[in-house]
Amino acid sequence: MSIPIISEADRLRREVLAYVIKAVKAGTYADIDRIPIMMRPKGQPFSRCCIYKDRAALRYRAMSALGYRVEDETDELKTLASYAEDIATNPPATDPFLTIFEDACSACMESQIMVTNMCRGCLARPCTNVCPRKAIQVRNGRARISHELCINCGKCADVCRYHAIIQVPLACADACPVGAIGKTDDGRVTVDHEKCIRCGKCIKACPFAAIMQSNQVAHVVRAIAEGRKVIALVAPAINGFFPTEPGRLYGALRKIGFADVYEVAIGGDDTAIAEAEEWAERKAAGAPFMTTSCCPAWIECVERHIPEIKPYVSSTPTPMAFADRRAKKDHPDALTVFIGPCMAKRTEAHKHGSPDYVITAEEIGAWLMAENIQLDAVEPEPPAVAGTQYGAEFAISGGVANAVAHYLPEGVAKPTVFKINGLNKKNLALLRVFAKTKKAPAEIIEVMVCSGGCVAGPCAISTQEEATKTIQARRPQDFQA
Amino acid sequence: MADHVTVEICMGTTCYMMGSAQMAGMAERLPEEWKDRVTITGKRCTGACQKAGQYGRAPFVRVNGELIGAADEGKVLAAIRDLLEA
Ligand code: FES
């Protein structure tokens, strides 16, 4: 069993978020300027080439925590404190939320298969035999790969008995399911925002933490500090991340100033009910299949890469949209804030103009750190509106299709289900084929861009396995999976 | 050499966010031969994380009383090994 780890990049990001939140809440903006020095004091160990680069990276991390994109910087001497002051008048950066600190990018080499000097130029030469493109030849006692011919399949690496052939990854580009990542002339990362589906996989993948996202939590903290009425829309995945009953988290949210809590699981129920009806209608009209619509990165993928599949994509609003509608209806004067594990939800909210803000599990966790709230010491409180377990399991791969099946109108046969559990280059091609041939292996195609579902989102806190277990442990007796 | 090792993982908010969430289920991942010689428990926040500038030192784990800062499963396993197999 592999050991789950948290990366140093995740730790730094959360630490910066917590310090920023603390300062914004207290209005002590000058403290934010101290963050880089506090976290990398003179004479202490550093992680990049020198302490100064570490501090520069922390400055940009703080900027993104305050809701800015690194690219927004026009004056390098502008202090973090004045960025924090500007929150009062400036809304947070908008889509694309991805932001790159170019100087942190290590300009890694292109993803490729490489022969190392462990190669002994052996007699057996299985690498030359296994290569489907005849891209390997042995010259001067060593295997050589022609990179014009090589298709990076890695078969040679698998058969070499000396482990002399390695696959050199380009972490960000390999993680990107849609080929949105390119390189500048000097080898640094660039993101083509026209192609990018906002999934956030590259943020997790980059070992140098050069890719970041602009946050919105500082604006929410500020709104609450100013006395605005703010409603939390809590995504079901969130209730898998904290080792406590949901009520304690809701109590904690009230404690830090949210006026009330709506479970997005209720929106999940709304979505499943509407989607079940939609499927019944579509099926009656002869539709061969329908894909789910709740994953916002999938919707971006449809629009940017597979427009031909659009007629087969459910047009039912997402759980976030339904939950937001409920909250806005009950509290027209309130700001609504979605709290989830997802980056693409920010883009969804931006496109629809609501909810007002989207913050991540990391941002809310850092907020609890900043306020030193211990969940086990908080009295559990019920949410204003709760969802069912079916709605809650939207966060887990398979859960959406299961909920749709549960809410089918009477007399409609249970649809067959095919799951895209984690979008990658391969199954993206498959989805294209479904659209082209108007044929799919099942009636409902559940698409989740993150492998495992939202519980494995790019801004998750605990491991996907733990979060899944935690959510499923709440299944009532009569739950049908 | 110790007969038995007690591991206390801080499950307070800061420690949880800074890495103890990833240590959940660690008891099951222990090597078979250690399983009945190691006890793993969760602890509440001691306040250590709240001293100025200390978030980065979380998560805190104690292995037979010895404090490990910025702990992760690898560091904890190494500390257990030192005690059980020294
Ligand atoms: S949360 Fe572990 S010491 Fe505070």
Q: Express each pLDDT in B48-74 by its tens digit.
A: 999 888 999 999 999 999 999 999 999
In A, minimum Cα distance to B14 occurs at A369
Determine if residue A359 is left, alpha or beta; phi over 0 gives left, psi from -120 to 50 gives alpha, anything else beta. Answer: beta
Residues found in chain B: 86
Which pLDDT value is given to residue A357?
A: 98
Which pLDDT value is given to residue A26?
A: 95
What's chain A's Rg over C-alpha atoms? 24
Which pLDDT value is given to residue A467?
A: 96
DSSP helix/strand/coil, B60 = coil
Which pLDDT value is given to residue A336?
A: 98
- The answer to whether residue A350 scores a pLDDT higher than 90 is yes
Alpha-carbon distance A53 to A46, whole Å? 9
**Does B22 contact A39 at a Cβ distance shorter than 8 Å?**
no
**Does B55 contact A242 at a Cβ distance shorter than 8 Å?**
no
Percent of chain B at pLDDT > 70 equals: 100
Which pLDDT value is given to residue A5?
A: 83
Residue with tokens 């310090």: A19
Q: Is the peptide bond before A91 cis (omega within 30 degrees of 0)?
A: no
CB-ligand 1 contact for B13 (6 Å cutoff): yes
Alpha-carbon distance A455 to A367, whole Å? 20
The ligand 1 atom at the shortest distance from the C-alpha of residue A374 is 1
Which pLDDT value is given to residue A186?
A: 87
Chain A hits for B24, Cβ within 8 Å: 243, 462-463, 466
- The answer to whether residue A353 scores a pLDDT higher than 80 is yes
What 3 state SS string does chain A have? CCCCCCCHHHHHHHHHHHHHHHHHHHCCCHHHHHHHHHHCCCCCCCCCCCHHHHHHHHHHHHHHHCCCCHHHCCCCCCCHHHHHHHCCCCCCCCCCCEEECHHHCCCCCCCEEEECCCCCCCCCCHHHHHCCCCCEEEECCEEEECCCCCCCCCHHHHHCCCCCEEEECCHHHHHCCCCCEEECCCCCEEECCCCCCCCCHHHHHCCCCCEEECCCHHHHHHHHHCCCCEEEEECCCHHHHCCCCHHHHHHHHHHCCCCEEEEHHHHHHHHHHHHHHHHHHHHHCCCCCEECCCCHHHHHHHHHHCHHHHHHECCCCCHHHHHHHHHHHHCCCCEEEEEECCCHHHHHHHHHCCCCEEEEHHHHHHHHHHCCCCHHHCCCCCCCECCCHHHHHHHCCCHHHHHHHHCCCCCCCCCCEEEEECCCHHHHHHHHHHHHHCCCCCCEEEEECCCCCHHHCCCCCCCHHHHHHHHHCCCCCCCCC
Which pLDDT value is given to residue A169?
A: 87
- Select from A369, A371, A375, A461 the residue whose CB has the most chain B CBs within 10 Å, as the one to mutate to test that interface: A369
CB-ligand 1 contact for B60 (6 Å cutoff): yes
Q: State the CB neighbour count (10 A cutoff) for residue A221.
A: 26
Residue in A5, A362, A376 closest to B44 by CB: A376
Which pLDDT value is given to residue A471?
A: 97
Beta pairing partners, A234: A263, A339
Task: Look at A107 and A238; give whichever has higher pLDDT.
Answer: A238
Band of pLDDT at residue A225, cut at 50, 70 and 90: very high
- The ipTM, to two decimals, is 0.95
Average pLDDT in the B67-83 region? 95
Residue with tokens 């939609």: A278
Query: Using an 8 Å Cβ cutoff, are A267 and A323 in contact?
Result: yes
Give the tokens for residue A189.
């990362």
- The answer to whether residue A346 scores a pLDDT higher than 90 is yes
Which pLDDT value is given to residue A1?
A: 55
Percent of chain B at pLDDT > 90 equals: 87
Alpha-carbon distance A81 to A347, whole Å? 27
Average pLDDT in the A133-150 region? 94
Average pLDDT in the A405-420 region? 94
User: Could you give the domains of chain A?
Assistant: 8-107+173-218 (3.30.70.20), 112-168 (3.30.70.20), 229-479 (3.40.950.10)
Percent of chain A at pLDDT > 70 equals: 100
Q: State the CB neighbour count (10 A cutoff) for residue A80.
A: 25
Query: Using an 8 Å Cβ cutoff, are A236 and A265 in contact?
Result: yes
Band of pLDDT at residue B86, cut at 50, 70 and 90: confident
Residue with tokens 């005690």: B83
Phi, psi of A152 (to 5 degrees): 60, 30
CB-ligand 1 contact for B19 (6 Å cutoff): no
Average pLDDT in the A143-165 region? 94
Query: Using an 8 Å Cβ cutoff, are A199 and A226 in contact?
Result: no
Q: C-alpha distances in angstroms, A198 versus A99, A203, A342, A429, B86?
A: 11, 10, 9, 19, 50
In B, minimum Cα distance to A366 occurs at B17
**Does B19 contact A15 at a Cβ distance shorter than 8 Å?**
no
Query: Using an 8 Å Cβ cutoff, are A188 and A105 in contact?
Result: yes
Query: Using an 8 Å Cβ cutoff, are A15 and A65 in contact?
Result: no
Task: Mention every residue, 6+ apart, whose C-beta is less than 8 A from residue A242.
Answer: A248, A249, A375, A461, A462, B16
- The answer to whether residue A419 scores a pLDDT higher than 70 is yes
- Select from B9, B16, B41 the residue whose CB has the most chain A CBs within 10 Å, as the one to mutate to test that interface: B16
pLDDT single digits (tens) A36-77: 999 999 988 888 889 999 999 999 999 999 999 999 999 999
